[in-house]
Structure 1
């Protein structure tokens, strides 16, 4: 029936039905009304139930009627056509537990992301092989240390284009040979970073990845400890745009084939350290094109040498980081053509140049500039020059900016980090400086000659976290400081007054980790109010000021403290018992104060992490507590110039860090010098002038008769015991000789008696030995002739007698090392020894002649019987006996030769005397 309107109702209904069916088939929006498969829904529920605890983010998943439509669950996406789960995105949702293999039921899955959760796999990844449609797989940060089949499994996923397995603790890869021969999947993105696989570049892994040389666009192999040469096969990856081989153990020169990577936009070869050669390989990137596509070039922390490349062939560069290499020559003016440049870092090289406006005038997009710590770079910029850029990061350490503050800095009002330390600036801080950089987080003006009063930075720099103005001529009282300071170094200035008012202005004192006010003229007590609030403090250095009073008991609240330096003040009283709670202390210097009482036994019972303990020049008394022998990590023990009496504990031999070859002493002592290295930009703690920790972790000790300041770079190699200037009695314990790595031993100015231990030469590394001004008696041991590194010796003013032993090592010391011993004789003293020494030489000579004759007789006897046996015995016996005699003869003659050589040496030594 035809309606007068034109179209029959029957046809209208048919069209409606068709449209409904069409909608059901192709779907609308992201989801389908068909509903998810019960099998897949069950698999997802099983996965959820297998987790250690239920994440709130998965609350939409469940068996309840209102939750049965899994295509509407969080993180789940289904296909429009059949209602199959094709995408599962559970990235970073605090999931904990084992990956339940029920996910293998999602056989139509194309996208799987379980990254950034606390998931793990107990055995293998075989379940993944069932997901044959998988195109995107991200398991980054999933713990896969036992998944030995990971490479075989992912190789079997023929449609995979994106694979991300970074920070998975992957085991070294193995690969099924049959899968290796199959055509590779169209892999476009591969991220295996931070797995520390430790395999050579010739391994099966590299052979596998080179199968994707026509498809791979992004490749991240960073932090894997890969070792060996960089394979030239990388040059075949013609479509590669991003390559990251950083933080490995690659070595040698960059292969020429890298010049074929015309599509490369980002190259990172940093922190391989043994990559060397010149940067000529970079020129090849543009050899077959007008200009390179390169945007990011990161080659820092290697051994590249030679001059900088011509940057004009890289007009798209946004980032250049070449710091910490061995590059030399001038800073090419070609950087002025890099109109897109945002980051430029050539610090810690050997560059020499005068930087002018010509270098920098076109860099309008520059945000980070680091020219610090080169051989000889200076800036020659006009006083009225206005830079085209507005920097956020500026490091010009040692760039000779002085003597005035550079006016062009006034235009840089967006700085977050500014380091102009060691620049020969002899000026006051200009007014514009305080108002120009409100976003400052890090400020270093140290090692200049800046004078005047310290500015009040609390309002001008509200975000300031790191402030270093040390080694200048600032004077006056401490001002207010920004509330959120983490690191404050004002050492080596002329600052006076109390610290109480300043520490009250730091409204967040619990953030303070580093405080160095040493070498000033500060006075007053150490305020209990301040100390009790410094709960995060790791380094406190108040040395060489005029502080007085007792140490407040609140010092026990410094539970994170690692370095405590109070040397050179007028602190008095006993050490507070609460200090024993500072169990992380590594370095404690209390020297040159007025502390009194016994050396606390709790130091050796509670402060077991101590490497450096200096308590010299105080008023401590009593005996040395044996508990100090429990400080097995101790490398410096200085209790000198006190009133300590009694015997030297024999148990000092338990200070095992002073043994030769000990691993506790050398590296660990300096390990705490870099506590803050990850809290501020990469380079700020290094430099040719000073850095924050060099001064804080130095130690003033007596070596070779004089006071030396040992800085943190040298401190790891020093092992010292100084008990001088006390009232110690008894003998020198022979057990001290077991401290084979000891470099300095000072027991002078005590009341020690007895003989010098015969085995002192077992202290193989001894460089300085002072036993002067005691009551030692007997002869100087002959074993002291065996010292290899002894550079300072003082045995003066004792009761030693006899001839001074002669050796190459002892002959270098003057008479002052031996004077005051009335019965000592022989060079270098002027007193001649009695005739008794000559008879000794005769006796030793007779002994040598006697043994020489014995040796000749034995040789003749053995030779004679060898001939006799060959003549008198039958053939079989003759051969056996002849062979036996030769063996006996060789052994006897060898022993005799060694003994005779020893006698000869002794005979010559005594004749020389």
Structure 2
């Protein structure tokens, strides 16, 4: 019995061991082949959210009923509970509606919908619908670039007690007057960004004045329109703020002294506002600050002593604090100012009245990457301490009064700089042996001599105008494949340049005026060209038809050359002069001759211009030229054009400056010219115009000098027309009408000669050739006989 029990016990133990092994193995296999199962409630919520989306690019094509929602694009589930915890659909080109029902996801902690193209936000009564929203930690709805998102209130934020990151950038919140009161009660909030939200007030409710946003570390309210002072209480709401951006928000008044209480600040941007007065005295107490930008305000006084204590500073911009047109920041800047700023990488003191006093042997403790001292008094010597900055990638010393340089040190310095701006100084030297690595090179308005420097293919824009460079374009310039802007105006350059530059297919602005260039205009030029200035050179030949096929061209100046031929009818293909297009030419300087005045400076040229004056053009001006209705300046003077002004000129309603003087135009001035209401300059002198000047406020506003040299032209402001001149102005052609009538005379003469030749050709043949003569008279007899028979039949019928 005992042995039986022992056997049974052994068998039971074995069976239990086998069962345990099978169970363990099964669980192990199950864990290795686990099928993720999305919660049905979560799935239903996500599908409801999807119903409002427009997914033209099929970025969320995986969101189907057939698939598990935990495998959907941008959806993340918890590994254990299979509940949705994160939804990231950023940068997916999604359109349509953001339905905030998605916040009903019970375990959602992260939601990122930024950088799409949504145009509507649906705000359900989420205080009742969302019961677990307190788990949400991260929420980003910013910068959706469709129709701008509007949101009337922020009351829906109140249940989000766990929220740490909130970004509503570019959502229009102008109807929410209590936005700050909605944010302050969020106890866990670390980062709040509301840039470009159209916020328009900075009111603080007294009931929350003593509340602390103890957790808030980042506050970005840039690009708004507050149009109010900065409330003093704002900086009392939190003491731990490390990032504060209030730039470009139209804030007025003084900077509150309580700003200095934010001892943990590392980033402070107050630029492009209307702050006045002095910067708070406690700036030196912001010991951890690394980034400080207070540029483009109206601040005054001395700020330098406090800045010298900011040992962590790597970015400093206090430029352009202008009040009534002058900069009121003052004080002496010396090596003492920067002695503790060993981490400084960016320095902008532009447009300031500081007095710079550096020892010639001073070597700064920092290595700058960017230095901007535009419109400061640095000269006449190039600041020697700048030669020590071997890491410079951006250098702007424009308008700083510098004339003397150490050419060797200067050459070593600028060869490695990517963005070099030295405009409007008096720098002298020969840099023809240099190869510059610049992306942007601006050396205009100096006294550089010798040949042009070599430039690496990475360059985008070059302005070497108003110097004394000579010689031809370097062969290396043929490789500037990405360049969009060239300005060589007013040098002593020569050679056939256009063949070199025709390879530059990205070129937008080409200004070669006032040099000694020669050759012809090539057929193939960049199709991107918007501005062509070849004025004051030795170019010759015709204007190729292809030039008028540059649809983006809106400024064409070929004046004072040796060009000839006529104007092609293809001129109408200059579509930017037919319909208005916005031009985008960054930091381009274009010289403009208009209204009879010399060239003037324009930073962003938009004037539609055609100037072909002082060449050898001839023939009639095509009607198509007078259909360029966006044209503002037209100058055809000092050529040999003939013909009349068409009536269609009245449609050029944007015309401000018109010069047709010193040509051979003729006929009457069309009545439609009185419709040119913006015409501010007119010169049609020294042509062959005749008749009466049309009566209208516009044409009579110009003095007689605009019309002189047209003997048969009368009417105000010239002499009064007589009755005979008005009624019989074409009765006796005068010498002034000869050119206008020449075509008609040639036509009549041609018709007469043709008739005579035909007549005598036929008669001569009949006289000389007997067979033809007999045939001709036989034909006449037959015709006479037939006419006689027909006549007699008619008479008999009549009787």
TM-score band by shorter chain is: 0.7 to 0.9
Cα gap change, 1:377 to 1:402, in 2 (>3 Å): closer
2:366 corresponding residue in structure 1: 363
1:911 corresponding residue in structure 2: none
- Could you tell me whether the CA contact under 8 Å between 1:161 and 1:189 is conserved in 2? yes
1:584 corresponding residue in structure 2: 576
1:639 corresponding residue in structure 2: 660
Residue 617 in 1 paired to residue 612 in 2?
A: no
1:655 and 1:45 map into 2 onto residues whose CA distance is 61
2:24 and 2:150 map into 1 onto residues whose CA distance is 51
1:111 corresponding residue in structure 2: 110
* Mapping for residues 203-352 of structure 1, pairs under 5 Å: 213-236=213-236, 237-272=238-273, 274-279=274-279, 281=280, 283-287=281-285, 292-310=287-305, 311-325=307-321, 326=327, 327-333=329-335, 334-352=337-355
- Could you tell me whether the CA contact under 8 Å between 2:97 and 2:122 is conserved in 1? no
For normalisation by structure 1, the TM-score amounts to 0.66
The residue matched to 1:775 in structure 2 has which SS? coil
Shift of 1:22: 13
Cα gap change, 1:171 to 1:308, in 2 (>3 Å): closer
2:580 corresponding residue in structure 1: none
Shift of 1:74: 3.0
Cα gap change, 1:21 to 1:151, in 2 (>3 Å): farther
Shift of 1:83: 2.0
1:245 and 1:739 map into 2 onto residues whose CA distance is 55
1:566 corresponding residue in structure 2: 558
1:424 corresponding residue in structure 2: 426
Deviations 1:441-463 (A, max 9, x none): 11222222222122343xxx121
1:161 to 148, 164, 170: 164
Shift of 1:776: 4.2
1:466 to 434, 448, 461: 461
The residue matched to 1:528 in structure 2 has which SS? coil
Shift of 1:184: 3.5
Can you give the 5+ residue segments of structure 1 that lack an aligned partner in the other structure?
A: 659-718, 757-770, 779-913
* Mapping for residues 158-197 of structure 1, pairs under 5 Å: 158-175=161-178, 183-197=185-199
Deviations 1:753-773 (A, max 9, x none): 6654xxxxxxxxxxxxxx5xx
1:314 and 1:15 map into 2 onto residues whose CA distance is 69
1:776 and 1:231 map into 2 onto residues whose CA distance is 71
* Mapping for residues 796-815 of structure 1, pairs under 5 Å: none
- Could you tell me whether the CA contact under 8 Å between 1:149 and 1:175 is conserved in 2? no
- Could you tell me whether the CA contact under 8 Å between 1:330 and 1:353 is conserved in 2? yes
More displaced 10-residue stretch of structure 1: 233-242 or 489-498: 233-242
1:777 and 1:564 map into 2 onto residues whose CA distance is 38
- Could you tell me whether the CA contact under 8 Å between 2:432 and 2:451 is conserved in 1? no
Cα gap change, 1:114 to 1:148, in 2 (>3 Å): closer
Cα gap change, 1:608 to 1:13, in 2 (>3 Å): farther
2:183 and 2:356 map into 1 onto residues whose CA distance is 55
The residue matched to 2:53 in structure 1 has which SS? coil
Cα gap change, 1:276 to 1:587, in 2 (>3 Å): farther
- Could you tell me whether the CA contact under 8 Å between 2:134 and 2:160 is conserved in 1? yes
Cα gap change, 1:308 to 1:651, in 2 (>3 Å): farther
Residue 747 in 1 paired to residue 707 in 2?
A: yes
2:49 and 2:405 map into 1 onto residues whose CA distance is 69
1:445 to 438, 443, 446: 443
2:514 to 500, 512, 519: 519
1:321 and 1:15 map into 2 onto residues whose CA distance is 72
Shift of 1:420: 2.4
1:593 to 592, 611, 615: 615
The residue matched to 1:320 in structure 2 has which SS? strand
For normalisation by structure 2, the TM-score amounts to 0.75
Cα gap change, 1:176 to 1:215, in 2 (>3 Å): closer
1:141 corresponding residue in structure 2: 143
Shift of 1:394: 1.1
1:209 and 1:59 map into 2 onto residues whose CA distance is 49
Cα gap change, 1:634 to 1:329, in 2 (>3 Å): farther
Residue 85 in 1 paired to residue 84 in 2?
A: yes
1:361 and 1:584 map into 2 onto residues whose CA distance is 51
2:380 and 2:207 map into 1 onto residues whose CA distance is 48
Deviations 1:730-769 (A, max 9, x none): 33433234999x999833333476654xxxxxxxxxxxxx
Residue 726 in 1 paired to residue 695 in 2?
A: no
- Could you tell me whether the CA contact under 8 Å between 1:390 and 1:413 is conserved in 2? no
Deviations 1:249-281 (A, max 9, x none): 222221222222211111112222x322233x2
Larger Rg: 2
The residue matched to 1:331 in structure 2 has which SS? strand
2:677 and 2:210 map into 1 onto residues whose CA distance is 51
- Could you tell me whether the CA contact under 8 Å between 2:55 and 2:93 is conserved in 1? no
1:176 and 1:294 map into 2 onto residues whose CA distance is 28
Cα gap change, 1:354 to 1:176, in 2 (>3 Å): closer
The residue matched to 2:219 in structure 1 has which SS? strand
1:783 corresponding residue in structure 2: none
1:523 and 1:110 map into 2 onto residues whose CA distance is 70
Cα gap change, 1:52 to 1:222, in 2 (>3 Å): same
